[in-house]
Amino acid sequence: MWVADNWKDYKVIDCSGGEKLESWGKYVLVRPDPQVIWNTKREDSRWKHFNARYHRSNKGGGEWEVVKLPEEWQISYGELTFNLKPFSFKHTGIFPEQAVNWDWMAEKIKSAGRPIKILNLFAYTGGATLSCVNAGAHVTHVDASKGIVAWAKENARASSLPEQSFRWIVDDCKKFVEREIRRGNKYDAIIMDPPSYGRGPKGETWKIEESIYPFMELTEELLSENPLFVLVNSYTTGLQSSVLNYMMSVIYKRNRNCKVRSDEVGLPVMNSGLILPCGASGRAEF
């Protein structure tokens, strides 16, 4: 398992009964987690004395119970700064387990010894984008949500990263990839974090089980003659690390020499010393 264990401002304190107890800087949150199917005694007092807790609704979605939490606050990861806020569907603005991939990509970029041009698809609030730019790359950041792209721009400004290293795009990712193929644009690395289900700005639908394989085939056409890596993340139960490994091997090894690896990503749990699984990632290294 690839474990994001370099955090200073974020911790999973404990997890039990479908929830995880987390510290985000100086604030303590309780959020649901479908992976936490065990029940252990909640001895940590912060289970009862939290700043905010997200309650799921039986009808779908849910709402935050806020005790004492600002509308927005910041945490840092190394040289990067992220603006957080209690967002719909339990989110806060970043997926902290992805830090293990941020570190891996940053090291690949720094070791390349050449300018690296990256395409980040379904790029959300920019954790991967910021890490890659901070390592010296130029990143085209694509997401279908105008508000989410604006949030990513705020994170870039908060991290004092150079504006010329970003290209911000609000668009349906599949349509953008198809246009880039027609334009003849190429990238040295591609990152994608596809949702299980989503809609584009013009009502385009995305169902990961039906869409991910042909989409990944399209992205192979955007790789440069000397690519560096491809990273694919999955939070969908049916799209396990072995499935990612198989798809990426079929697609990216077809015309190129590369090494494909995949594994679960996870976060250390402070009170138990165990690792909380948080989805899977596949990495192709050229």
Q: Which of 72, 90, 108 is the last residue of a domain?
A: 90
Q: Residues 84, 101: one domain? A: no
81: containing domain: 2-90
Q: Residues 56, 128: one domain? A: no
Only one residue has tokens 């560096």, namely 228
Q: Residues 137, 84: one domain? A: no
pLDDT for residue 207 = 79
Q: Which of 37, 67, 90 is the last residue of a domain?
A: 90
Please enumerate in sequence order all residues whose Cβ is within 8 A of that of 118, keeping only pairs 6 or more positions apart, or say none: 132, 137, 138, 139, 140, 187, 188, 189, 190, 191
Q: Residues 154, 64: one domain? A: no
pLDDT digits (tens, 9 = 90+) for 126-169: 999 999 999 999 999 999 999 999 999 999 999 999 999 999 99
Q: Residues 40, 116: one domain? A: no
Q: Residues 203, 119: one domain? A: yes
Q: Residues 105, 207: one domain? A: yes
Q: Residues 224, 141: one domain? A: yes
Domain total of the chain: 2
What whole-number distance in Å separates Cα of residue 68 and Cα of residue 63?
15
Please enumerate in sequence order all residues whose Cβ is within 8 A of that of 184, keeping only pairs 6 or more positions apart, or say none: none
pLDDT for residue 260 = 98
Count each helix (H run) and each strand (E run) in the chain, helices first. 6, 17
pLDDT for residue 196 = 82
Q: Residues 269, 228: one domain? A: yes
pLDDT for residue 39 = 97
Q: Which of 46, 63, 90 is the last residue of a domain?
A: 90
Q: Residues 136, 245: one domain? A: yes
Task: Mark the ranges of the chain whose per-residue pLDDT is less than 70.
Answer: 200-202, 204
Q: Residues 39, 58: one domain? A: yes
CATH code: domain of residue 17:
2.60.40.1180
Q: Residues 187, 280: one domain? A: yes
pLDDT digits (tens, 9 = 90+) for 207-218: 788 889 999 999
